[in-house]
Amino acid sequence: MSNEATPPTAATDNYDVMIVGLGPVGKLLAIQLGRAGHRVLIADRKTEGYPLPRAVTHDFEFARILQSIGLAPDTIPEITEPYDDMYVWRNAERQSLVEVDWSGIGSSGWYNTYFFSQPALEDRMEAVLLALPTVTVLRGWSAEVIADDDVVSTRLSNLATADELIVKSRYLVGADGANSTVRRWAGIDWHDMGFFYDWLVVDVIPDPSLEFPHVAIQTCDIARPATMVPGGPGRRRWEFMRLPHETIESLNKTERAWELLEPFGIRPDNSELERHSVYTFQAGWATSWRQGHVLLAGDAAHLMPPFAGQGLGAGLRDVMNLFWKLGAVLDGRAAESVLDTYETERLTHIREFIDFSISLGRVICITDPAEAAERDERMIAELAKGHAPPAPPAPLLGPGLHLSDGGQLSPQATIHFDGSAARFDDLYSGAVLMMAQAELYTLLSPEAAAAIRDRGITVVALSGEHPAVITIDEVDGTYAAWLDQLNAEGVLIRPDFYTFGAATGVETSAMILAFSDQLGVSTLEARA
């Protein structure tokens, strides 16, 4: 923890980015910026990381994001495990209402669904973070923004010694959770969807001799709406909704948790109760994600009910959208105005997922017998007719830094490399121009070729040869099929894995120049 030992001083108080909040969102942003060589200070009021589980599930894009920082799921099997099964919603009589297929491999080359231990994952993320020489980590320090002029001035206060420091940074990111002090300082309002329910969340480490079906189940029972899901290797999670006649205090007791677990065969003599806590599930978002040089990410910017398992994943998507734009601005390769696209691109998907999560919550959070009977009859009939359950929103960007045919998550394929197989992202990162044939590079205009160099774009092709192009050999034809689907010979992939646009050979130059134009006049161009 060497980079945590020396706090900032008057001689070292200037940073590229200050991050408030050492949760997974703040850590990921610090890692991505630190790996790019930017000076980052990340601070948190707590002296230690939160030791108990919160999020327990993630999807294939989340897995791809972890891969980008060296924590791919197959490298940490003791922390995360794939879920290759159905997500079942059933009523009190154990009749299926909805069966969602969470099995299989997603387009990013990872399983569609994983269950994991968040504290263990955060420990691994912190180890990556502490190894970065340009990142300073401060625990036990509060942060108060005191000015946002050309740079952001922040007062840091050591909560143990009362020492104070003033640090300056070009940008500050509030990743400090639902009760964000950064959001309050910035005076940013909150759009509240008015969807509130209290649920007791219980995490258990069962004795290995106990056997449970490895399935994720939502029980839509008016007597007690409940959830049972894996909690990562060796763990299980139950969630129990607070009923109208109960108080939070009466529900949030250890003995009450054991009482609710007993019907599942979970008892003090065969399991460890890792934690129990009542949470109020909420839905809403900040009305602005950027004010001057101050930005928000994760729960500071949005909250959603947990029924789609996307709350933490949404925060990590925020980071991937933000880090490369911040990095481009800091490096002088993009105008500051590109940061305005962060909110517009991400909020569209966030609002769709909030609506989706609320719609799922309205299925399970029912305690009225007549309403539940109507729900059961309707949903059982729909299932019998083979009606597909509502699909979660596709990972798409809202308006922003892409063309009209862009804004989609690119696939990740396995390619041959040095006599073995490797995932594409492990070999090529940043902005990538993927072409069907290397010879298409000769069609690029001199201006487009110059933009490729100036913007740091890597050019790869599926076949052919050209000295400026890397020819890749894919294992199963994923990329060739993708280009055919797009009816394109070239596609420009942004550093966050989303596409900027697609083009035929003769249109590729215009696509590259459009990317360069949307990044804006950089300081490098201004100096030329």
Q: What is the CATH number of the domain that holds 356?
A: 3.50.50.60
Based on the domain organization, do 16 and 115 belong to the same domain? Answer: yes
What's the pLDDT band for 308 if we cut at 50, 70, 90? confident
* Residue 9's pLDDT band (cuts 50, 70, 90): low
Which parts of 150-263 fold into alpha helices (H)?
A: 181-186, 248-251, 254-261
- The answer to whether residues 422 and 357 belong to one domain is no
Domain-embedded: residue 205: no
Six-digit token string for 407? 């804004």
Q: How confident is the model at residue 50 (pLDDT cuts 50, 70, 90)?
A: confident
Cα-Cα end-to-end distance for the chain: 42
The reply to whether 7 and 72 lie within a common domain is: yes
Whether 358 and 418 map to the same domain: the answer is: no
DSSP class of residue 487 equals: T
Q: Token pair for residue 431?
A: 């902005």
Task: List b or e across 343-366, with b for residues whose CB sees 16 or more CB atoms inside 10 angstroms.
Answer: bebbbbbbbebbebbbebbebbbb
Please state, as a whole number, how many other Cβ atoms lie within 10 Å of the Cβ of residue 305: 26
pLDDT, mean over the chain: 93
- Same domain for 426 and 347, yes or no, is no
**305 & 421 share domain:** no
Residue 350 lies in a domain: yes
Q: 214 versus 90: which is more confidently predicted? A: 90
pLDDT in tens, 127-186: 999 999 999 999 999 999 998 888 999 999 999 999 999 999 999 999 999 999 999 999
- The Cα–Cα gap between 201 and 224 comes to 13
Q: Is 141 left (phi over 0), alpha (psi -120 to 50) or beta?
A: beta
Q: Does 339 map to a domain? A: yes
State residue 210 phi and psi, 5-degree precision: -75, 140
312 found inside a domain: yes
Find residue 498's DSSP bridge partners. Answer: 409
- Asked whether residue 528 carries a pLDDT value surpassing 60, the answer given is no
Residue 2 has pLDDT above 70, yes or no: no
Q: Is the pLDDT of residue 91 over 70?
A: yes
- Distance, in Å, from the CA atom of 35 to the CA atom of 166, rounded to the nearest integer, reads 25
Span 330-352, pLDDT tens digits: 999 999 999 999 999 999 999 99
Shared domain for 13 and 160, answered yes or no, is yes
pLDDT digits (tens, 9 = 90+) for 235-260: 999 999 999 999 999 999 999 999 99
Helix, strand, or coil (residue 377): helix
Report how far residue 5's alpha carbon sits from residue 322's, in angstroms, rounded to the nearest whole number: 28
| CB burial of residue 5 (10 Å; 0-12, 13-18, 19+) | exposed
104-124 tens-digit pLDDT:
999 999 999 999 999 999 999
Instruction: Give 287-296 pLDDT, tens digit per residue.
Output: 999 999 999 9
Q: What is the pLDDT of residue 527?
A: 41
Give pLDDT tens digits for 205-235.
999 888 777 789 999 999 999 999 999 999 9
Helix%, strand%, coil% for the chain, nearest 5: 35, 30, 35
pTM for the full model?
0.94
Bridge partner list, 411: none
Range of the domain at 426: 414-527
Nearest residue to 31 (alpha-carbon basis) of 81, 67, 76: 67
Q: Are 216 and 291 in contact, with CB atoms under 8 Å apart? A: no
Looking at the fold, whether 31 and 142 belong to one and the same domain comes out as yes
